[in-house]
A = this chain, B = another copy of it.
Amino acid sequence: MIERRATIPFSEARQLITEHVERLQPVSAALFLARGMVLAESIYAPFPSPYFRRSGYDGFAICAEDDHDFPITLQVVAEVPCGATYNKRLNPGETVRIMTGAKVPEGASKIIMLEQSQVVEKPEEIRLINSQPHSNITEIGTEFQTGDLLLEKGHQLNAGSLSLLASFGVTEVKVWPKPKVAILSTGSELVAAGDTLPDGKIYNSNEPLLVSLAEDYGAEVVYHEALSDDYEATRARLEEIAGEVDLILTTGGVSVGDFDFMAEIAKREAKLLFNKIQMRPGSPTTAMLFEGTLLLALSGNPGACFTGFHLFAEPALRKFSGKPSSILEVKGIMAQDYLKNNGYDRFLRGKAYFSNGEYQVEPVGSDMSSSLGNLPFADCLIMIPRGKVGKAKGEEVRVWLLSSKS
């Protein structure tokens, strides 16, 4: 008896999955470990920047009373390197030698640049040749006043964000954490690279694929294991893992064969979301809630696994962390014919070239779901809608630009 499954369009599958993702609880994270994460709070300046009157140049601080009739000769009462202070008030007739970035003494109104100074006979005096129009002093709060918004809730922290926050002494931030993911490849035919390969078995290529993609797209992979084709063992392992992760990704076992245990588990042990999508490759892609944990069961065919990850797992992973999908849908123009008959919408692994304001796209390598020679080169997915004719060169298609970071 062959099971008949209810099919849904891929867009509905995508929506069903993200609907079952809830943004994670924000956590406190050390600033330097939070790069790439999204702020769960707005951050305001705890003090003004600069918080002292800062010298913009190397030179000599003078009082307003002395700022006329140059050249003038003043008494050097102190030297103020960066990070030091002169704690008295500067009086007319006095100057301090001051460095770029140092605190300008009270009473000083201008920094005369070093280039305008001349050594005189008395070492405690300095001759200043000319004044300048600008004060060369950055006043308190020039860039930020206390309470000014530095970074808004929802901002994804990058190198510049860490730098800005560090300048205010921030060491911890509230962020949405990375989702914890378990990656389970199923199938007794799988052998880990490095082991000897008995006849009829194959090296496991989906597990490294999914681990790498999940990390690229911002997940923390806490388990990755190959499970053998044993229903009870698979169920037991899923039960152990379900409470500990935010998403379980599996490959293989979703078809209608006698050893397709993930399909069985979806029906017997979980709340099924869908198990048949009107798309190729990967029509038996299955999603379920297993003890409340979202489980996306991808096909074991590498092409289907790659495609399914980008269409279904990526938006889920991103949503857990408060981020929109990083895979943009754009309009593409076919750079060559693809004229096959497609019973379902077909997703081709492709390459996109931007020229003259358009994305020219073409399939890369084979469209077989079992092929994986094109996985290193695909930078987009091209949708060929179901129908007898395919898409000819020059026709418009829907394209998803992959944004993997490696």
Q: Which of A28-36, A317-325, A332-340, A383-391 contacts B (4 or more CB under 8 A)?
A: A28-36
- Per the 8 Å Cβ criterion, residues 67-105 of A in contact with B are 79, 81-85, 97, 99-103
By beta carbon, the residue of chain B nearest A32 is: B208
- Per the 8 Å Cβ criterion, residues 183-203 of A in contact with B are 187-190, 193-195, 197, 199-203
> Most chain-B Cβ atoms within 10 A of its Cβ — which of A114, A159, A188?
A159
- Identify A58's interface contact among B202, B256, B375, CB under 8 A: B256
> Most chain-B Cβ atoms within 10 A of its Cβ — which of A158, A187, A194, A201?
A158
> Most chain-B Cβ atoms within 10 A of its Cβ — which of A31, A83, A377?
A83
A388 to B392, CA, bound (A): 53
* A162 touching B208 in the complex, CB below 8 Å, given contacts A151-B376, A373-B150, A406-B35: yes
Q: List 12 A-B contacts (CB under 8 A).
A: A81-B188, A83-B200, A100-B255, A101-B370, A102-B200, A114-B257, A150-B373, A156-B406, A160-B377, A166-B193, A168-B203, A356-B357
Interface residues as binary, A39-77 with B (CB distance below 8 Å gives 1, 0 otherwise): 000000000011010101010000000000000000000
By beta carbon, the residue of chain B nearest A194 is: B171
Residues of chain B within 8 A of A380, CB atoms compared: none
> Most chain-B Cβ atoms within 10 A of its Cβ — which of A54, A166, A189, A201?
A166
By beta carbon, the residue of chain B nearest A148 is: B373
* A216 touching B169 in the complex, CB below 8 Å, given contacts A164-B205, A208-B31: no
* A205 touching B163, Cβ below 8 Å: yes
Residues of chain B within 8 A of A347, CB atoms compared: none
- Per the 8 Å Cβ criterion, residues 249-300 of A in contact with B are 255-259, 300
A195 to B255, CA, bound (A): 59
Residues of chain B within 8 A of A169, CB atoms compared: 193-195, 197, 203
Residues of chain B within 8 A of A52, CB atoms compared: 199-200
A170 to B204, CA, bound (A): 11
Residues of chain B within 8 A of A216, CB atoms compared: 158-159
* B257 touching A100, Cβ below 8 Å: yes
* B163 touching A201, Cβ below 8 Å: no
Residues of A within 8 A of B (CB): 2, 31-32, 35-36, 49-50, 52, 54, 56, 58, 79, 81-85, 97, 99-103, 114-115, 138, 143-144, 150-151, 155-171, 187-190, 193-195, 197, 199-209, 211-213, 216, 229, 255-259, 300, 302, 306, 356-357, 366, 368, 370-378, 404-406
Residues of chain B within 8 A of A366, CB atoms compared: 143
Residues of chain B within 8 A of A206, CB atoms compared: 163
- Min distance, Cβ A104 to any Cβ of chain B, angstroms: 10
Interface of A is mostly: loop
Residues of chain B within 8 A of A255, CB atoms compared: 58, 100
- Identify A167's interface contact among B81, B100, B155, B205, CB under 8 A: B205
Residues of chain B within 8 A of A54, CB atoms compared: 370
Residues of chain B within 8 A of A370, CB atoms compared: 50, 54, 56, 101, 138, 143
* B159 touching A209, Cβ below 8 Å: yes
* B376 touching A161, Cβ below 8 Å: yes
Residues of chain B within 8 A of A138, CB atoms compared: 368, 370
Residues of chain B within 8 A of A155, CB atoms compared: 376
* A167 touching B302, Cβ below 8 Å: yes
* B372 touching A164, Cβ below 8 Å: yes
